[in-house]
Structure 1
Amino acid sequence: MNKLRDKAGYDVVVVGFGPSGAVAAALLGQSGIRTLVVDRSHEVYPKPRAIALDHEIMRVFQNLGLADAIAPHCEPFTPSEYYGVDGQLIKRLATVEPPYPLGHTPSMVFSQPPVEAALRRHVESLPAVTVALGWRFTGVEQDGDGATVRMENSEGTALSVRARYVIGCDGASSSVREAAGITLEDLEFDEPWLVVDVQVNERGLAKLPTTSVQYCEPGRPCTYVIGPGNHRRWEISLLPGEDPAYMATEEGAWSVLRRWIGPEDATLWRQASYRFHALVASEWRNGRVFIAGDAAHQQPPFLGQGMCQGVRDAANLAWKLRTVLAGDATGPAAEALLDTYRVERREHVRRLTTRIKEIGAVICERDPAAARARDAALIDAAGGAIKTVPRQDIIPPLSGGLLARGGGSGTGKLFPQPRVSGPTGPLLLDELAGSGWRIVTNRRIAHLPEEILALAEHVGIVVSIPPEEVAFSSGPYWMQARELDGVLAGWFARHGCCAALVRPDHYVYGVANSGQALRDLVAGLGDTLDLRIP
């Protein structure tokens, strides 16, 4: 492992080595970006906090080469059933059926400590990354050439390092955010809840529901989540007059768990009282300092998107920093590209948090008459029979930032990752084409204009997935393969296009329905990033 040295220079300093910081450091270090990641804690927190992740996040882990290491700690998320005042089903969320659009189970539960440990091991193995544990961030000063980051260890030793950029992934009470003078906007959700993680024995499992449940009961709204193995989580609202400190004791936790199980059925793993907030940073950047993860936003846990949002932040910012540090965008174009981080992630977080709050409003209605009216309205809207809604339909696309103007209906959406025929057998698309800029088309390579292939040298790679049977073939800047499950064919059909220009974070820059439209799309990207496109 590289040693931390006073006055050392780095491209990026990442403050915080939780999931968001680890992913940011991994994505940067994997590209050879000289990265320092610091954290005051020496070890991974041994108890679960996040419990849910989705296929977009697993795709990021896949791109890091970690899918196989993380998969054993994950299980598919069971359906979530919402029950109303009188115990009737009023809403149901579940996972879409295979073939999965991004190549992974769309919604999963996971055990955070081993997943976080796998992320840390990967980061520590990267030659470009220095990991400094037991160091506390104490301040940052910026100038025209970079930033000076100050830190201190537990023995009082202080040192400073230089960096081109700094990313604060240091949690909800972020010192980096405070040092950068960034404030949080309150999205108006503030409620006290108790979160209890339990390891349940066979006797206890036999007593519990076989799906995850939202108890939308005015007397005490609560959530039951089926985690991996025998891990079960309850999120239980606290009532007026209840002492959060007492409720977070073993006695307090069992006092509310007894509706389902008792001490003879399970072992408490973690119990903690929280105030669930909905907050988003007003700014996500101050000069060379960025914030990500819980430092930039907090949301109620009703869709399990907290950690997912932080990983999205890291994935969005990392490729933009790579582009600027590599000199592929310079001057005003570089600044404009980095500014899109705030534009894209802030609006995405706000929109998703609004949807999470709407779900929270369904769960948390305390007035019995209003709750009965809610139940009746949901059942009536479903035509009297509750239909299952895919969880991922709730995740919004990007709606601004580095997207083509008038780029078509697929613009801003996540591009699918189908199974395709590789040179030695079936592969997921990213395993074949990588995760840089891509032009993906359903036209055969032989039918593409020569100029489109020439563009690939400047953009990344052209990937041809035609609907007809083809053998795998490749050239310097192109490859052609056969899709195995029809996921991509369906996507092109839904969006009325024959090609998509896809960003390194897998969001669609724009779509095209002709060779000329594709040429214009790539030229527009070249103008935006100040690339020389012939």
Structure 2
Amino acid sequence: MTTNDAGSPSTRTTCDVAVVGYGPVGMTLAALLAQRGVDVLVIERHAQRWALPRAGHLDGETMRTFQGLGIGDAVELVARPMLEWALTRGDHDVLTTIALGESGSGWKADYLSYQPEFEAIIDARARHLGVRVFQGTTAVTLEQNEHRVLLGVRPTDTPDAGLRTVEASFVVGADGAGSFVADALGVRRHDLGFSARPQLVVDFEHHDPDRDLPALQEVCQVLDIRRPHLAGRWSGGRWSRWEFAALAHESREDLEDEAACWGLLRAWGITPEDGRIVRRTVYEFDSLLADHWRSGRVLLAGDAAHTMPPFLGQGMCSGVRDAVNLTWKLAAVLSGDAGQSLLDTYESERMPHVKAMIEMSMAVGDMVLLTDPEAAARRDELLRTEGGPLPPLFPRLGPGLVRRAEQPAASDVDGRPARQGRVVWQGRLALFDDQFPLSGWRLVSRHRVPLDIFDERQRAALTAVGVEFAHISRAAGDDHFVDLDGDYDLWFRETGRKAFLCRPDNYVFGSAATFGELPALIDELAEVLSRYGWDAPSGESGRRSAAAQVVAKAPGR
């Protein structure tokens, strides 16, 4: 769709990126972009942030993103680490317990949190970074040409009001499953075929967060063929959530009846004297994937691009991954470091990853929602005798700005998140990412990398994206990062790699088993940079942290 310029200066607002939608994905994207110096404006149709929870699960990768925004510790204070996942029979007899725990991200693998609380933290950070948020404003038209995107917006509560124009270099639709932006682009959604009965979600606030509920210590999946359901304790025990599968004869009205909800909670020993029901609502689950995520200068993220069943807790987390992947690429294009074709890698990398996550969520849902007695009995026996499935290894990124999987020197670690542990740099102890002012390209190595192994073209590629060298060792010293807990030593040994080239989103572009393989790896980087029009460094990509400057100049480089 193309457009001519429209509107007048008094009715026109300009920005680098306009984000439509201000849920957790939209606000995370806006904050990440603003952190990189991008002028961001948000259009949100609701006048206030939504006061009720929807998502409740944060994984370690999401917490690492919040860490990068400077709010990881604040979010952790309103979250509860999820250390195990119990699968039980209807009488709460435990069939198996799956330990969760560490993730390699520097954070626990899983947390449970009350969405309004962590959203407030992201919102405050976004506004502090200068994000302009137009709440109570609805986008009603979208047009674009070669140079810009024009959004026509008006107050949500005044549908007859005249349109105000928002002019942006790029627009990102993070406006949920009923996305206006996706509809304006004519995006079609492919159904991956998940089918299940609706579920009643009951969110509960406890008067006494320290009250012990023996059957509800962490997260419990109750494999009851009469009514499969899940229960989880959040945020230090203050909040709990139950998700009850609907029976064949139950209507939405039947399920949402307050007396019926109390009847379901009484089976868990919960009565009105224990607290209040904050929300009771019925969800129907989709497994939808948009057929394309980019059209010119307009892109989709989060539920606007994909929806999935909740059984891995990866819906919102996948949207946050979208935001992280897209942020550094948009920043590079806006700064002139890279051409717009770089944005094609957003869809090519993220879509296969999300599709695999949807399929894994569907598989877990099919397993926990069994109601056929014979099939359920076989499942229960398998769980009791062989234990539950291991936490899944999440998929690698699809093709894009990442080493191709078919390369002879490629490793399974390529295209996956880089490890993070605690390190000491010149007497300062912190998680690795916190030793740098902003996440960028890094060459993480077990030994000091000699620069003379690179030729002129390879050095130019390293310079083009401002690669920072990070030598990490168990040995004490001030000229390298000290691997305090041995996390990196374990990473090097487990993977058989000696160096990892990590991207600004903390994903591994590629790795090397020997330093002799590094020149070829950088040749691949140079080829990819050339493909996407990446020029000499400027702006954020050209700045090096003080730590990395010293490491790069240390003796022996």
TM-score by length of 1: 0.90
Alignment correspondent of 1:308: 317
8 Å contact from structure 2 (residues 58, 317) kept in 1? yes
Pair 1:489–1:399, CA change in 2 (3 A): farther
**Aligned equivalents of 1:93 and 1:283: distance in 2?**
36
**Aligned equivalents of 1:277 and 1:68: distance in 2?**
33
Q: What SS is found at the alignment partner of 1:403?
A: coil
The letter for the 2-side match of 1:404 is R
Alignment correspondent of 1:32: 37
Question: Could you tell me how far 1:204 is from its partner in structure 2?
Answer: 6.6
Question: Could you tell me how far 1:307 is from its partner in structure 2?
Answer: 1.3
Alignment correspondent of 1:476: none
Question: Could you tell me how far 1:459 is from its partner in structure 2?
Answer: 3.0
Pair 1:371–1:329, CA change in 2 (3 A): same
Pair 1:18–1:5, CA change in 2 (3 A): farther
8 Å contact from structure 2 (residues 474, 484) kept in 1? no
457-466 or 420-429: bigger deviation:
457-466
- Structure 1 unaligned residues grouped into runs of 5+: 474-479
The letter for the 1-side match of 2:109 is P
1:178 aligns with 2:178: no
1:110 aligns with 2:98: no
Question: Could you tell me how far 1:169 is from its partner in structure 2?
Answer: 0.7
8 Å contact from structure 1 (residues 439, 456) kept in 2? no
172-181 or 337-346: bigger deviation:
337-346
8 Å contact from structure 1 (residues 408, 511) kept in 2? yes
The letter for the 2-side match of 1:324 is V
Alignment correspondent of 2:548: none
Alignment correspondent of 1:494: 494
**Aligned equivalents of 2:427 and 2:87: distance in 1?**
46
> Of 374, 377, 380, which residue of structure 2 is paired with 1:375?
380
450-459 or 418-427: bigger deviation:
450-459
**Aligned equivalents of 2:92 and 2:74: distance in 1?**
40
1:352 aligns with 2:357: yes
Alignment correspondent of 2:447: 443
Cα distance per residue 1:28-48 (max 9 Å; x no partner)? 111111211110122221122
Alignment correspondent of 2:477: 471
Q: What SS is found at the alignment partner of 2:66?
A: helix
> Of 146, 151, 154, which residue of structure 2 is paired with 1:152?
154
The letter for the 2-side match of 1:198 is F
Question: Could you tell me how far 1:448 is from its partner in structure 2?
Answer: 7.0
Q: What SS is found at the alignment partner of 2:273?
A: coil
8 Å contact from structure 1 (residues 440, 499) kept in 2? yes
8 Å contact from structure 1 (residues 355, 394) kept in 2? no
8 Å contact from structure 2 (residues 20, 173) kept in 1? yes
Q: How does 1:311-326 map to 2 (within 5 A)?
A: 311-326=320-335
8 Å contact from structure 1 (residues 299, 353) kept in 2? yes
Q: What SS is found at the alignment partner of 1:251?
A: helix
Alignment correspondent of 1:477: none
Question: Could you tell me how far 1:495 is from its partner in structure 2?
Answer: 1.9
Q: How does 1:7-22 map to 2 (within 5 A)?
A: 7-22=12-27
Question: Could you tell me how far 1:414 is from its partner in structure 2?
Answer: 0.7
Alignment correspondent of 1:508: 508
Pair 1:526–1:7, CA change in 2 (3 A): farther
Cα distance per residue 1:143-175 (max 9 Å; x no partner)? 111211111112324211211211011111111
Alignment correspondent of 2:122: 119
> Of 252, 255, 271, which residue of structure 2 is paired with 1:244?
252
Alignment correspondent of 1:136: 138
Identity of aligned residues (%): 35
Cα distance per residue 1:307-349 (max 9 Å; x no partner)? 111111111111111111111112xxx31x2111112221111
Alignment correspondent of 1:259: 267
Cα distance per residue 1:401-436 (max 9 Å; x no partner)? 321122322101110111111223211111113411
The letter for the 1-side match of 2:55 is A
Alignment correspondent of 1:198: 204
- Structure 2 unaligned residues grouped into runs of 5+: 1-8, 538-557
**Aligned equivalents of 2:231 and 2:452: distance in 1?**
53
Pair 1:76–1:249, CA change in 2 (3 A): same
Alignment correspondent of 2:307: 298
**Aligned equivalents of 2:353 and 2:180: distance in 1?**
24
Question: Could you tell me how far 1:88 is from its partner in structure 2?
Answer: 4.8
**Aligned equivalents of 1:139 and 1:215: distance in 2?**
46
Q: What SS is found at the alignment partner of 1:50?
A: coil
**Aligned equivalents of 1:491 and 1:533: distance in 2?**
32
423-432 or 198-207: bigger deviation:
198-207
TM-score by length of 2: 0.87
The letter for the 1-side match of 2:527 is D
231-240 or 260-269: bigger deviation:
260-269
Pair 1:323–1:402, CA change in 2 (3 A): same
**Aligned equivalents of 1:516 and 1:328: distance in 2?**
29
**Aligned equivalents of 2:500 and 2:213: distance in 1?**
49
Q: What SS is found at the alignment partner of 1:188?
A: coil
**Aligned equivalents of 1:96 and 1:268: distance in 2?**
30
Question: Could you tell me how far 1:400 is from its partner in structure 2?
Answer: 2.7
Q: What SS is found at the alignment partner of 1:421?
A: strand
8 Å contact from structure 1 (residues 85, 368) kept in 2? no
Question: Could you tell me how far 1:281 is from its partner in structure 2?
Answer: 1.2
**Aligned equivalents of 1:297 and 1:50: distance in 2?**
15
Alignment correspondent of 2:525: 525
8 Å contact from structure 2 (residues 473, 481) kept in 1? no
8 Å contact from structure 2 (residues 470, 481) kept in 1? yes
Cα distance per residue 1:434-466 (max 9 Å; x no partner)? 411111111125687476877643332333334
8 Å contact from structure 1 (residues 204, 266) kept in 2? no
Pair 1:510–1:280, CA change in 2 (3 A): same
Question: Could you tell me how far 1:227 is from its partner in structure 2?
Answer: 1.0
> Of 40, 44, 53, which residue of structure 2 is paired with 1:48?
53
Question: Could you tell me how far 1:532 is from its partner in structure 2?
Answer: 6.0
8 Å contact from structure 1 (residues 94, 388) kept in 2? no
Question: Could you tell me how far 1:470 is from its partner in structure 2?
Answer: 4.0
Pair 1:356–1:437, CA change in 2 (3 A): same
Q: What SS is found at the alignment partner of 1:117?
A: helix
**Aligned equivalents of 1:489 and 1:372: distance in 2?**
44
Question: Could you tell me how far 1:205 is from its partner in structure 2?
Answer: 4.2
8 Å contact from structure 1 (residues 248, 271) kept in 2? yes
> Of 437, 458, 464, which residue of structure 2 is paired with 1:458?
464
Cα distance per residue 1:117-157 (max 9 Å; x no partner)? 11111111223x32211110112111111211111112324
Question: Could you tell me how far 1:378 is from its partner in structure 2?
Answer: 3.5
The letter for the 1-side match of 2:204 is V
Alignment correspondent of 1:417: 420
1:223 aligns with 2:230: yes
8 Å contact from structure 1 (residues 152, 159) kept in 2? yes
Pair 1:78–1:428, CA change in 2 (3 A): closer
Pair 1:87–1:428, CA change in 2 (3 A): closer
**Aligned equivalents of 2:179 and 2:511: distance in 1?**
39
**Aligned equivalents of 1:532 and 1:175: distance in 2?**
35
Alignment correspondent of 1:398: 397
